[in-house]
A and B are shown apart, each in its own frame.
Chain A
Amino acid sequence: MAEPVRPTGLQTPRSETAAAGPRPSRAQEFREVLFELVRLDGVRGGLMVTPDGLVITSELPPRFPVEALAALAATLGRQLEVGAERLGRGGFRTALFSSDDGTVFLGGSPVGYLILLGDRNVNLASVRLALRKGVDRLHGTWKTPAAAGVA
């Protein structure tokens, strides 16, 4: 995953924000991406979490430990990003981790991580492909004029 480009420092407010008006919410795009992915065969649910562990949106069964899972998934996402960088493997994109009972899929993007939970019969290759497409869509949401260095 390409590391996100920080448009400005927190100490330097951009007057362009007020002049340009608010940008459309990325949250809607996040929800749409996740909504499509959790409907794939063998996928039990999923969530989208920011690198700091904030749950942006989730589609998980009731009484699922969302906060705990989000904290672990964000930690895993960061470990994969940092590790890929340290080992000179280029940006982290997707990962899957399987047990005898199911699979956790994780996709990395500048805005955060997409996590999907698959059952034991989930098709690893097709879900990973769909996840990668979802991640590409999230990459697209980051390409704002400010992030491209226009501001």
Chain B
Amino acid sequence: MGLGSFLGRTWSGITSLVRPPTAAALFRRADAYRHEGRYEEAADLVALGLRQAPNSGVGHLLAAYLHVVFREMGAAKNAFRRVLTLDPYHPRALFGLARIALEEGDYEGCKPFLDRALQYYPDFPEAKALQEMVASWSAPRPAGATPATPLPTERLRPPPGSRDLVLTNSDGTLVFGQGPEERQRQLALQMTQVYRIASATLTRAGLGSLRRGSIESAKDMSFLRTDAGLILSVSFPHETEVGAGLVQIGRLWTELDIKG
């Protein structure tokens, strides 16, 4: 090897050590960090990478994922949309937007994203699972429509210490509720969505149809009982034991005399 060639190689080696990493290398490292749960570091690397390559679909997709982890849904939506401006059929960006639409309660809006994702990438189990779930949801019955068999809702007496008692159809229409109307509407909407997604999750896990559940939040414990297209839910103080709450909602359910 000649001296010139030797010096050239040495110089190249030295500069490669001090040369800043490429955007692609930054995104690879960021993705590895994301898989390790090192989200803050991943976010920094993605920001650095996007400075170098502002039109990188990979970079914007990673940015979107990290915004979702940090629950910055508006920013996540923008980043997913940016990916779609670069690749209109990017399945992961379409899927991301579908999930955000679901979360926002825009059920009709989420369908086209899932359809488009699966149109070109039919082997996409996550999108398929959501598509099947959304397709199974029935449209709300017209306002004023009465159930096939009237329910003895007058028998529903809230247990002592309970609140937010609501009975809804699985299509989201309210059958019975207590308290302010807007609160009842919000409760019905939330319980219906939880029922729908939890049902799909149980089915996908091979466990069958949802019957009962409990949800613990910082302030209270909510319980639900469901069958025959109806969902009953009620909340108790946070310290309520799961077993005791399930017994209480079981009693209320028996009062309704619902034939499953």
Contacts and interface: CB of A to CB of B under 8 A. Distances in A.
Bound pair: A and B? yes
A6 B39 CA distance: 10
Contacts of A94: 215-216
Contacts of A90: 217-220
Contacts of A25: 36-38
Contacts of A100: 208-209, 211
Contacts of B125: 65, 67-68, 71
Contacts of A144: 40
A68 B114 CA distance: 14
Interface residues of B, number: 72
Contacts of B40: 7-8, 14, 17, 23, 144, 146-147
B70 interface: yes
A104 B214 contact: no
Contacts of A139: none
A23 B41 contact: yes
A86 B213 contact: no
B157 interface: no
A130 interface: no
B177 interface: no
Given A14-B44, A75-B130, A128-B242, A26 B194 contact: no
Interface in A49-87: 50-54, 56, 65, 67-76, 78-84, 86-87
Given A56-B37, A76-B198, 18 more contacts: A13-B47, A22-B38, A26-B36, A29-B37, A52-B64, A56-B35, A65-B129, A71-B127, A71-B130, A72-B197, A72-B201, A75-B130, A84-B217, A90-B218, A99-B208, A100-B208, A103-B207, A147-B40
A1 B216 CA distance: 10
A144 B68 CA distance: 19
A52 B197 contact: no
Given A82-B103, A94-B216, A6 B133 contact: no
Contacts of B211: 98-100
Contacts of B68: 50-52
Contact of B202 (A11, A29, A97): A97
Interface of B: 34-41, 43-48, 50-51, 63-72, 75, 96, 99, 102-103, 125-130, 133, 164, 186-187, 190, 193-194, 197-198, 200-202, 204-220, 222, 235, 241-243, 246
B193 A79 contact: yes
Which 8 A/B pairs are nearest by Cβ-Cβ distance? A90-B218, A26-B37, A71-B126, A68-B129, A52-B68, A89-B217, A99-B208, A102-B207
A48 B206 CA distance: 18
Nearest to A88: B219
Interface residues of A, number: 74
Interface in A95-118: 95-104, 111-112, 117
Contacts of A98: 210-213
B72 A69 contact: no
B207 A99 contact: yes
B194 A83 contact: yes
Contacts of B99: 52-53, 71, 74-75, 78
A124 interface: yes
Contacts of A26: 36-38
Contacts of A97: 198, 201-202, 210, 212-213
Interface string A27-54: 1011000000000000000000011111
Contacts of B96: 52
